C-alpha cells in the first residue's frame, strides 16, 4: 500500500490537492497565484516564492508531480548525502505509468516499486542499495562500476552483503556474475576501486597468495588498516585522490616505517601499476613475496598478452 504524498511545507512546496484539503477554494489558489504568493513549478505543484528553486525544492516538486514516485539514480544518492546536488532530477515510477515531465527531469519505470523505495525519506527515494545497482549497471566501464559500488560501502552507508541481497532480488541484471564477484571482494574488506583492481587484476589471476584485507595494526599514530598484508610484505594501494596533502603523505610514510620496524617491507602501488601494468606488477610482487619466504610460484593470467614469466628460483630468507 502506498503512503500519502509527502508534506513539503517546510520547503515551501505545496500541491493543489493539499491546498484544497486545507480549505482553500480554487478561487483562492488563483488569487494566490495572481499575487505571486505562489508560483507554478509543475501543473498542480506550487512554490511559495518567485525566485530560483533550490535543489531540494526541485526534487520534491518533481516527486509530487509524478506521485507515486521517488528519486532514483544519482538524485537518490545525493539526497542521501552520497553525491553532488546538481543536474537533472531522476525519478522512478511503477512500470506501465505514463507521466509528462519537464526537460530537466528524467524518468525510469520499474517493477516492484513499493518494495524498492524508502517512502519515509524526505523526499521519498530508492533505497541506497537499489540506486547503487542502477548506477553501477549503467556505468560506462567496469572501473567506474567498481567506484560506484565501493564509495557508499567505504562511507559506511551500506554494506556489500546488503547490496548483494538487492542484486539477488532482481530477476534481470547485466553481467550479474561479475557484479556478484565484486561484491564478494568488497565483503572481504576491499574498500576502493584501486584495491579491487589489485585483487582482480594482480593478485588473484596470477596465483599470488591471498593478502589479509584491511589488516589492523596498532602503532604510535594509533590504529591503522593495511590494504593487503602478507607474511613479511605489506601492499598499500596509493590512490592519490585520498593522499593529496602533506599531512596524509607524512602519515603514510610513518606507517611504512612502523611496518619496517616490525620486520615487514611495504610497497605502494598506483593506478598505473595496477590497471596498466598488472602482469608486470604481479611478477614483481611475487618476487618480493618469495624473498619474504613464500614458497609458491606465480602463473600467467588468462589475458592474451600476459607478460608474466614465472621467475627462476629466488633465494628465500626471512
The domain ranges of the chain are: 9-126, 132-187, 208-291
Helix (H) / strand (E) containing 128? helix 128-137
pTM, whole model, 2 decimals? 0.76
What pLDDT does 248 receive? 54
Tell me how many degrees the CA angle 213-279-148 measures, rounded to the nearest 5.
50
Q: For residue 177, what are the contacts with CB-CB under 8 A and spacing of at least 6?
A: none
**The C-alpha cell that represents 317 in the structure block:** 630468507
**Order of strands, sheet of 212-219, starting from the edge strand that comes earlier in the sequence:** 212-219, 222-230, 233-237, 265-269
pLDDT tens digit string along 27-52?
999 999 999 999 999 999 999 999 99
What average pLDDT score do residues 219-233 get?
78
Record the cell numbers describing residue 312, joined without a space. 627462476
Summarize pLDDT for 147-198 with one digit per residue, the tens: 899 999 989 999 999 999 999 999 899 999 999 999 998 998 888 888 999 9
Mean pLDDT on 238-252: 55
Position 296 pLDDT exceeds 50: yes
Q: Categorize the per-residue pLDDT at 219 as very low, low, confident or very high, splitting at 50, 70 and 90.
A: low
Amino acid at each position: 500500500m502506498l503512503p500519502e504524498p509527502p508534506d513539503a511545507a517546510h520547503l515551501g512546496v505545496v500541491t493543489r490537492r493539499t491546498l484544497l484539503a486545507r480549505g482553500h477554494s480554487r478561487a483562492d489558489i488563483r488569487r494566490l497565484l495572481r499575487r505571486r504568493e505562489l508560483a507554478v513549478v509543475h501543473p498542480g505543484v506550487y512554490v511559495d516564492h518567485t525566485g530560483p528553486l533550490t535543489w531540494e525544492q526541485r526534487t520534491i516538486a518533481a516527486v509530487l508531480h509524478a506521485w507515486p514516485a521517488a528519486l532514483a539514480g544519482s538524485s537518490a544518492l545525493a539526497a542521501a548525502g552520497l553525491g553532488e546536488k546538481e543536474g537533472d532530477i531522476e525519478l522512478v515510477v511503477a512500470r506501465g505509468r505514463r507521466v509528462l515531465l519537464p526537460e530537466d527531469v528524467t524518468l525510469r519505470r520499474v517493477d516492484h516499486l513499493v518494495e524498492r523505495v524508502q517512502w519515509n525519506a524526505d523526499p521519498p527515494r530508492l533505497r541506497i542499495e537499489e540506486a547503487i545497482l542502477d548506477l553501477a549497471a549503467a556505468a560506462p566501464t567496469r572501473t567506474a562500476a567498481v567506484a560506484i559500488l565501493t564509495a557508499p560501502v567505504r562511507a559506511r552507508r551500506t554494506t556489500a552483503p546488503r547490496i548483494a541481497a538487492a542484486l539477488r532480488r532482481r530477476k534481470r541484471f547485466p553481467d550479474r556474475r561479475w557484479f556478484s564477484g565484486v561484491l564478494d571482494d568488497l565483503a572481504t574488506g576491499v574498500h576502493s576501486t584501486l584495491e579491487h583492481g589489485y585483487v582482480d587484476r594482480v593478485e588473484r589471476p596470477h596465483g599470488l597468495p591471498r593478502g589479509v584485507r584491511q589488516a589492523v595494526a596498532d602503532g604510535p599514530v594509533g590504529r591503522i588498516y593495511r590494504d593487503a598484508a602478507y607474511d613479511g610484505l605489506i601492499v598499500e594501494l596509493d590512490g592519490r585522490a585520498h593522499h593529496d596533502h602533506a599531512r596524509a603523505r607524512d602519515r603514510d610514510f610513518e606507517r611504512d616505517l612502523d611496518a619496517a620496524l616490525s620486520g615487514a617491507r611495504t610497497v605502494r602501488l598506483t593506478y598505473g601499476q595496477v590497471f596498466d601494468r598488472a602482469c608486470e606488477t604481479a611478477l614483481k610482487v611475487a618476487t618480493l613475496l618469495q624473498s619474504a619466504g613464500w614458497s609458491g610460484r606465480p602463473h600467467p593470467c588468462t589475458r592474451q598478452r600476459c607478460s608474466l614469466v614465472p621467475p627462476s628460483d629466488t633465494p628465500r630468507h626471512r
